[in-house]
Amino acid sequence: MLRQDLVQIAAWIPPNARILDLGCGDGTLLAHLRDTHNCSGYGVEIADASVLACVRRRVSVIQADLEAGLRFFPDDMFDTVVLSQTLQAMRNVEAVLREMLRVGRHGIVSFPNFGYWRHAVSLLAGHMPVSPEIPYQWYDTPNIHLCTPKDFELLAARLGLRITDRALLAGGVPVHFLEHLRASVAVYRFERR
Amino acid sequence: MSTSAAPGTASVGIVSPQRMHFAQPLILASGAALREYDLSYETYGTLNAERSNAVLICHALNASHHVAGVYADKPRSAGWWDNMVGPGKPIDTRRFFVIGVNNPGSCFGSTGPMSPDPASGRPYGASFPVVTVEDWVNAQARLVDALGITRLAAVVGGSLGGMQALAWATQFPQRLRACVAIATTPKLSAQNIAFNDVARTAIQSDPDFHGGDYYAHGVVPRRGLSVARMIGHITYLSGEDMTERFGRSLRSEEYAFGYGAEFEVESYLRYQGDKFAEYFDANTYLLITRALDYFDPARAHEGDLVRALAPAQARFLLVAFTTDWRFAPARTREIVSALVANGRDVSYAEIDAPHGHDAFLLDDARYHQLVGAYFVRLAEELG
């Protein structure tokens, strides 16, 4: 079972594409894309256990800090660069987005929607939100750059990224009515303008 | 087959070295030739019917073909990578046919400076030709030929052994499925060469060196060799590891106000140096450190490692250790970048281990699990 945002990401990736998956975790997405789309590529991952899991899946993985890890890759090497559920934990969001489009033609990011209605309810009740998408307490969270879809779109415009596709997911399915409140996860595909 | 695995142990058990003679000259990078030569080797496990499960292990500076197992008459003679190679070990001899080979120029059985020069009947000594990593790989390939193996499942090595694995990937791209290079570098730095030069100078300035022909004088440049080993040994350990192991501990309570081995670290290094001088050949030390210095595959390509590695077809596993300052992770990353630029299938792990360069020889669960997982996948492909 693929995570809901990964299903959406896979749907946007054409067969035989060369993929870079930043923060690839246990290599689930890359293994899936290899087995179903005949894709090839690399994952970048920092955690020892995840690197081992990738090797067990026969996924090519490079152990590095994401922000440094992009230096391994020459310009225009990939069709698509994926950053799933990681953007919100990056120190330098702008640099990462720019780097994604240096090494790849398309970028795909997914991130938890901080504007999800349950999060708003938590805030109204006086607490930082804790949900399946952002399951951390405020004092031990890796998430330092949470945002909403509209926030991301503003940044994308400022960085000159052209958004080609967007999926706002609630319970794993795209929603189109009150989507900024109903969606718990946002997924964007973008390219150079 | 030279193995008889004792059941219930994770060792390949009792092993015995073998020798193969090669009558065809080996043309060397220098233009010189080894007219004929012998290689010592050991094998563990069973070559399958398809001859597809062979793994070649390349040794580093002071090791040999004796990779795993023990010799019948010497219970404390475990191979230098016995924790990596064996039944149930990361390189599992129940699945793979593992070959350990001793390089020409060494002093552990293969033809080297101590061997008689067929032209004179006397030991080669200083006249043994300078050999390179690439020359070793050519010699190893002939052994692999003679064993009837067209394509190796993997070539594996750490440090200088990793350089040989890399050289295999470009010299014989079709002859290996996987290249596993650990704690290695695409070329020595000025600092690395400097350490080697100090070591060589220690040997060459020993009065017993006699220009490399000490065999004729019935002596060994023991002091020089010992100092060379002490210097080398320092570069194999991390600073923090030395602090952890020795700190400033003294062998007795108080300073002796002299120059003997008062600190534990001095005592340890001198012991290591003296022990090494008992069994290692000084000419071999010169020769192997020079092979290290010369290794620089990018040199023939205006320094472009991407082009140097372009012929490689194998898949790669590279491993570096965070506290290795001899061949730091940044050096391995250069190799990874060049392989990525060539679109090669490459995985890279950076193991946070405290033991410096020596970590590649030591037990570390993350390291061994990773290599083991890589070889499990490789074995599955072989069927």
pLDDT tens by residue, B128-164: 999 999 999 999 999 999 999 999 999 999 999 999 9
Min distance A114 CA to chain B CA atoms (Å): 34
Task: Return the HEC string of B36-74.
Answer: CEEEEEEEECCCCCCCCCEEEEECCCCCCCCCCCEECCE
What pTM value is reported for the model?
A: 0.95
Do B347 and A74 make contact, defined as CB atoms within 8 angstroms? no
Can you give the pLDDT at residue A4? Answer: 87
Q: Which three-class secondary structure state does DSSP give residue A21? A: strand
Exposed / middle / buried, residue A160 (Cβ in 10 Å: 0-12, 13-18, 19+): exposed
Report residue A182's pLDDT band, with 50, 70 and 90 as the boundaries. very high
Give Cβ neighbours of residue A144 (< 8 Å, ≥ 6 apart): A88, A89, A91
* Pairing outcome for strands A173-174 and A161-170: antiparallel
Q: Is B159 a catalytic residue?
A: yes
* Residue B5: pLDDT band with limits 50, 70, 90: very low
Please, what sign has the CA dihedral across residues B306, B312, B314, B318? Answer: negative
Residues of B in contact with A56 (CB under 8 A): 373, 376-377
Q: Which runs of consecutive H residues, i.e. helices, occur in chain B?
A: 133-146, 160-171, 190-204, 214-217, 222-236, 239-245, 264-279, 282-294, 305-308, 329-341, 365-382
A72 touches chain B (CB under 8 A): yes
pLDDT in the model for residue B333: 97
Work out the percent of chain B whose per-residue pLDDT is above 70.
98
Cβ proximity of B47 and B54 under 8 Å: yes
Give me the phi and psi of B16, to 5 degrees please: -140, 140
Using CA of residue B176, residue B178, residue B184, residue B188, what is the dihedral sign?
positive
Taking alpha carbons only, the member of B223, B216, B217, B181 closest to residue B327 is B181
Determine whether the interchain pair B348/A54 forms a contact, defined as Cβ–Cβ distance below 8 Å.
Answer: no
Residue B3: the pLDDT is 43
Specify the pLDDT at position A68: 81
B6 vs A: CB within 8 A: no
DSSP H or E segment with residue A96:
helix A93-103
A-chain residues within 8 Å CB-CB of B374? 55
| Shortest Cα–Cα distance, A101 to chain B (Å) | 17
Does B342 contact chain A (CB < 8 Å)? no
Is any Cβ of chain A less than 8 angstroms from the Cβ of B352? yes
Angle separating helix axes A93-103 and A149-159, nearest 10 degrees: 60
* Rounded distance between C-alpha atoms, residue B353 and residue B360, angstroms: 9
Question: With an 8 Å Cβ cutoff, are B349 and A56 in contact?
Answer: no
Question: Is A53 within 8 Å of A30 (Cβ atoms)?
Answer: no
Chain centre distance of CA B5: 24
Interior CA angle at B217 toward B214 and B219, to 5°?
Answer: 65
> How many Å lie between the alpha carbon of A46 and the closest alpha carbon of chain B?
9
Average pLDDT of span A102-115: 97
| Residue B16: CA count within 13 A, CB half-sphere | 7
Ramachandran angles phi, psi of B153, nearest 5°:
-65, -40
Q: Judge: A54–B377 Cβ closer than 8 Å, yes or no.
A: no
- Chain centroid, CA B327 distance in Å: 14
Residue A48 and residue B366: Cβ atoms within 8 Å?
Answer: yes
- Cα–Cα distances (Å) from B104 to A189, B128, B131, in that order, read 56, 10, 8
